Amino acid sequence: MPTDDEVVQTAAEAAENVIFSRLGVSEVEDYDVTVTFEDGVLDVDVYVNAPDSSADEGRLADDAALAARGAVDELFGE
């Protein structure tokens, strides 16, 4: 069984990987990945600000959050 810290770290890394697989570091003006895991409940919130890119920031944030949840599911073997 993974620890809470492992769950949070796995989710955050997965979200960041999605963001930076689609955008270069220089394109991202600001981003925030907030992950909490308490009492078996995962909460992921992603914000991306990349005004000079052609990326849909909202879609990218949603995709990153989904990837975070998927990575945690894999961690638990689901």
Q: Compute CA distances 18 → 24, 33, 66, whole Å.
A: 11, 11, 10
The residues of the chain scoring below 50 in pLDDT are none
| Residue 24: predicted pLDDT | 94
Q: What is the pLDDT of residues 18-39, one digit of tens each?
A: 999 999 999 999 999 999 999 9
Residue 12 identity: A
Q: What is the pLDDT of residue 78?
A: 66
Q: CA-CA distances (angstroms) from residue 42 to 33, 52, 59?
A: 13, 32, 20
Q: Is the pTM of this model over 0.85?
A: yes
Q: Among 3.30.300.100, 3.40.50.1220, 3.40.50.300, 3.30.70.20, what is the CATH number of 4-75? A: 3.30.300.100
Give the chain's mean pLDDT: 96
Unique residue bearing structure tokens 């600000």: 49
